Amino acid sequence: MNREEYRTLADIKENWQPALQERTGAPMLLGGISVYFDFEWRHVIGHNRTAFRRGKSLA
């Protein structure tokens, strides 16, 4: 990843490969932040909720 290639969130979202997906974080566990990911959510996280271990401290 070339540092100059990614200057804004819009640039990152547009140029990231594989394409980024976005979910809104759980209000209590992630403070409603936007969560961007490039993997099969259910396969990696294990459920469809936008919440995960240590998410609250991340938010």
Say what the pTM is. Answer: 0.72
Q: Which residues of 14-48 are buried (b: 16+ CB within 10 A; e: fewer)?
A: eeeeeeeeeeebbeebbeeeebeeeeebeeebeee
The per-residue pLDDT string of the chain (59 residues; one tens digit each, 9 = 90 and over) reads 566 666 888 888 888 999 999 999 888 888 899 999 999 999 988 898 888 777 777 66
What pLDDT is stored for residue 56 in this prediction? Answer: 76
What pLDDT is stored for residue 5 in this prediction? Answer: 63
